Structures are given as C-alpha cells and as structure tokens.
Chain A
Amino acid sequence: MNIVVLVKQVPDSGAERSLSASDNTVERGSASNVINEMDEYAIEEALKIKEAHGGEVTILTMGPERATESIRKALSMGPDAAVHVTDEALHGSCAVATSKVLAAALGTLNADLVLCGAESTDGRVQVMPHMLAERLGVAALTGARKLTVDGATLTAERQTDEGYEVVTASTPAVVSVWDTINEPRYPSFKGIMAAKKKPVRTLSLADLGIAADEVGTAGATSAVLESAKRPPRSAGTKTVDEGAGGTQLVEFLATEKFV
C-alpha cells in the first residue's frame, strides 16, 4: 500500500506562542518548532500498516525551509522518503489555499492512503483532511481512533459525543487520526542516522502549476484584522485545608450562586 502521511511543523504548544506583529500570521521564525503532535500518531499508524501489509510511506509537508528539521525527525521514525513543498509565496496561506497546494502535491504521489492528524495544535482548524478529500474526490474517514486495513477496504472507529461510529470505505482514502489510535515509537539511533540519507524532494509552486497569487497572503480567503494578548487570569483566594477545606469550597460556590 502506498501511504502518504501529512506532517505539519507547528510552534511548540508548551511554549509561549504569538502572532507576528507585522502581518498577524503565526510567528514561526522565533518559536521552537515541533512536529504537530497528532501527526506522529499518523506516522505510527502508517508504519504499522506498512509492517503488516508492505508498501511505502512518504511524508508530505508544506512549510518554510526550516520545516526540514521536522521532516528529518519524521523520517527518523521509519518512513521511506519525503516531499517538502516550500516557496516564499506560501507565507500566510489560509486553509483553503493550503488544501489546494497539498492536493496538487498529492496528485503527483499516487497514494492509496493519505494519513494525517485530526487537527493541528497551532490553528486547531481541523479542516484539512475534509478539504483534501473534497478536492481529491476520495473517501474520508475522519477522526479515527482505530483503523483496520483489509485489502482495499478500510474500517475505522470514530469517536462521537454520543459514543462511536464504525465507518468504512475503499482506497484511495484520506484518514485522519486522534491521539488515542496508537502509541508513536521513539526514533532509534539507527533511525536517526538512516533519516539523514533518505530522499527529500522539494517542490515549488511552479512545480505544482499553482500561481503565487492563489496562495499566501495575496490569495488568502480570510484575514486576521487585529490581535491582542488576553490579560492573564489572576489568582484569587487560596486557602490551605485545615479540616474545613471542603466546606469552605462550598461556601465559595454558594457566594457565586453555584449551589
């Protein structure tokens, strides 16, 4: 099975994040950047499928030059190759434009299965898999917490607020995963060394036949008009329990009219 895993580089969610003062895009230059956590689960799932059924796993990333760090890190887990779409004109791309670029890149990769995270930790838009399925005209099994592959048939379990759904489709398909699906492996030393030699192909917008003004800030379908830091919450009363902590808690709830 030919699998492509979408990997996005994002600013570390454990650190302070901000929007750029000049154009209100996500500040990526100064941030400590990591692989979007959910995408590691997609990589793991791809490797497990390859181990069971054979095939090839390719990483696909759209992002600035420095996203190569994340691509190498992804490759060190075990995938075979990577494609990096990078172009100055992509800076500031909205989700709609990003999906256009990724769909065009996927068009050159002939994937049976596209695996990706359910959402990215920077924008938390949670729309890319759906947009790609829509553009490619293939099935989408989104938000999977379990995936089984039987020949060309995919079956996924999908968490809902009421319980879960069992959904099925045939390849080619896009499957997005939550972090409940597996436990991603750590790259081994051998994996890290091997990753340095794995092929990473770079694609520009011209290679994909997309004009610069269809993407980036120029082609954005939405814009951030203004942004402001929220004033941090301040700490209120803190009491040490000396035997009546529970009662005091309820007294507080009562003054706030919760009981």
Chain B
Amino acid sequence: MAEVLVVVEASAAAGVKKVTLEMLTIARTLGSVSAVVIGDAAALTDKLAEYGAEKIYVASGDDVESYLVAPKATVVADLVRRVQPAAVLLASTQEGKEIAGRLAVKLDNGLLTDAVEVAADGTATQVVFAGSTIVKSKVTRGLPIVTIRPNSVTPAAAPATPTVEQVTVEVGEKDKLAKVVERVAEQKGSRPELTEASIVVSGGRGVGNADNFKLVEELADLLGGAVGASRAAVDSGYYPHQFQVGQTGKTVSPQLYLALGISGAIQHRAGMQTSKTIVAVNKDAEAPIFELADFGVVGDLFKIVPQAAEEIRKRK
C-alpha cells in the first residue's frame, strides 16, 4: 500500500492538534499512514502512534524552524519525490495552506483546500460560498494535495507501532529569505483552540463593550468551549481579531455554536453555518441569526446569559 503523508500540526502548549488526528483518521482510508513532523517530535510520537501512524518522518533543526514556512515546503517536497506517496494531507490553517501552495508549485501539481472529506479515490468534498454550496473536486494533475478543515471528522484511534526516521534537511538560500526574529505567545488561558473546539460561544456588537465580554468568557468556560466574536465586536475593540468568526475570520464547525448579541449577517454565517447545533440570544426577534438557530431566545443577553450561567452551575 502506498504511503499517505500527513503533515503534522502541533503546538508547544497542546501537543498534537486535533486536526492532525482527523488527518490521520482520513489518511488510513487512503493508504499507509506516514506522519511528517517538522520540529521536535519527542512529545508527539505517542499520540501519532495511537492514531495510526506507521511511520514518522522527523525534520528538525534551525534551518526549518528559524525561517518562515518555505523550508518546510522544501522538506515535504523532497519527501514526496522520494517516497511517491498516494496523497499529501495538510491542515487548513495559515501554515498548512502556505506549505500546500508552495508544494503545488514545486511539484507542478494541483491542490484542494478546506476539504471536509476525502474519498478513497482522492475526491475531496468542500463547502464553499458561506456554507451555501457543496462541491466535490479532484486533483487532475499529480497526486492529491489536500488541506483538511478542522472539525471535519471524528478522530478515531487505531494504534500502530511506527518506525521513526530522521530526514536530512537540505534547504537552499532561497528558503531562508524570511527570518522569524521573535515568537510571542499571547495569553489565552486554558480554552480550546477556536477552530478545534466542540463548543464555541461568540459575542457580537450586542455585548456592548470589552468588559462585558467576561460574560461570554464565563459561559464558554462553564461549557468547556472557546470564545469567538463577530467582526463588529472585533472592530469595536471588544475582543482580539484572532477570535473573529466569519468570512474574513475563522471558519468554525463545532457541535454547538452559541451566538450572543450577533445579528447573523451573511459574512458571519460564512464562518459558522456548518455548526451542528446553533443557539442564539438576541433582543431583536427579527434578527437573521434566528433563521438558522435550532434554539433561539429573544431577549436581553445581560439577563439571559447570567441566568444560564447560574443554571449550569446548579446542575454541575
């Protein structure tokens, strides 16, 4: 069986990201799973093994870690040329897409982004145009290079005993043009990553100011969820931009999406429309968010949210 390369996304704080486990789960249906770790792999191998990696390629060192993305694409391209995999899966994140884009050019190969499903023959399913349209696409030149959107499939464990291979990194000067001089971690507490969370609680302009976002955070924490925000809330300075949900922010697809004081503009819906269950609180009974809410409460969020928080505490 041909290998399928899964380019691992991990974070220093949380280890292997959930999207990586999803990719491993999909990859098993396409071939023999090989995980590609760029960076330090020691803390990751157990998890990768648990989810079915038969092989782990590790590329580490200053050459790949001190420069922006280009060297990583070179490492993956070299691997592709060497092992001739059946497919390459990457995460639909800023970095995953950057590697994919460069890889496609290096190999003169097609690519598909934001897939939620990949069939055994490489056909990818994508949800486009603000969640309104589903397309099935295929790479017609070269092997399938596909980026997977987080929260697309349920990760399933399938323990394997991987062999680990250290790959030699040979990156040229052209890959070292953009240097990372500093990495700054911003406080975000213990909340799950927005795109990977199974529950997202978002606040909009209706939340009124930055201080009031504590209400949104409190409810999110009680539910074990992540916090999101509409663009109006971000633009008004209530909450940082990396938490924006929608057309020009993050796309989320959690089990539960709670919209507080959000009108439900089409560009916001673009980022949350595929959530399994949607709950909305808005004082305007005509707000478009109610058109897609499975459960909606018309009323003042400043009364409803504290009461809901109290009720959850009672039930715990």
Residues in chain A within 8 A of chain B (CB atoms): 13-14, 16-19, 24, 37-38, 94-96, 99, 121-131, 133-135, 137-143, 145, 155, 158-170, 173, 178-180, 220-230, 232-241, 244-250, 252-254, 256, 258-259
Contact = CB atoms under 8 A, between A and B. Distances in A.
A5 B188 CA distance: 34
B292 A235 contact: yes
Contact of A224 (B135, B178, B188): B135
A150 to B, nearest CB: 13
B111 A126 contact: no
B315 A252 contact: no
A227 B267 contact: no
B159 interface: no
A96 B247 contact: no
A132 B255 CA distance: 37
B179 A168 contact: yes
A221 B104 CA distance: 9
Given A17-B132, A162-B185, A238-B293, A126 B104 contact: no
Contact of B297 (A128, A249, A258): A249
Contact of B186 (A162, A166, A228, A252): A162
A33 to B, nearest CB: 14
29 contacts: A13-B270, A14-B265, A19-B133, A99-B105, A121-B248, A130-B97, A133-B102, A134-B101, A135-B105, A139-B177, A140-B68, A140-B177, A159-B241, A161-B93, A161-B194, A165-B184, A173-B177, A178-B241, A221-B111, A222-B138, A225-B135, A230-B127, A230-B134, A232-B132, A239-B297, A249-B295, A250-B308, A250-B312, A250-B315
Nearest to A228: B134
Contact of A13 (B130, B185, B303, B315): B130
A248 B131 CA distance: 29
A188 to B, nearest CB: 23
Question: What is the interface of chain B mostly: helix, strand, loop, or mixed?
Answer: mixed
Given A38-B248, A131-B104, A159-B241, A222 B293 contact: no
A141 B174 CA distance: 14
Contacts of B94: 126, 142-143, 160
A24 B134 CA distance: 11
Interface in B214-242: 223, 241-242
Contacts of B25: none
B119 to A, nearest CB: 11
B127 A127 contact: no
Given A161-B193, A165-B184, A221-B141, A253 B279 contact: yes
B51 interface: no
B110 A241 contact: no
A250 B300 contact: no
A221 B296 contact: no
Contacts of A138: 177
B253 to A, nearest CB: 13
A210 to B, nearest CB: 14
Contact of A249 (B69, B114, B141, B279): B279
Given A134-B73, A135-B105, A241-B298, A246 B303 contact: yes
B315 A134 contact: no
B298 A239 contact: yes
B81 to A, nearest CB: 16
Nearest 9 CB-CB pairings of A with B:
A246-B307, A241-B299, A221-B110, A127-B101, A139-B177, A163-B186, A246-B308, A130-B101, A222-B110
Contact of B295 (A234, A236, A246): A236
A168 B105 contact: no
B110 A227 contact: no
Contacts of B97: 125-127, 130
A127 B273 CA distance: 24
A167 B112 contact: no
A24 B135 contact: yes
A37 to B, nearest CB: 7
Nearest to B144: A222
A144 B128 CA distance: 25
Given A96-B111, A138-B177, A246 B311 contact: yes
B104 to A, nearest CB: 5
B137 A249 contact: no
Given A223-B140, A235-B296, A246-B305, A167 B179 contact: yes
B1 interface: no
Nearest to A38: B248
A153 to B, nearest CB: 11
A161 B150 CA distance: 13
B108 A133 contact: no
Most buried by B among A24, A94, A124: A124
A163 B185 contact: yes
B304 A249 contact: yes
A13 B136 contact: no
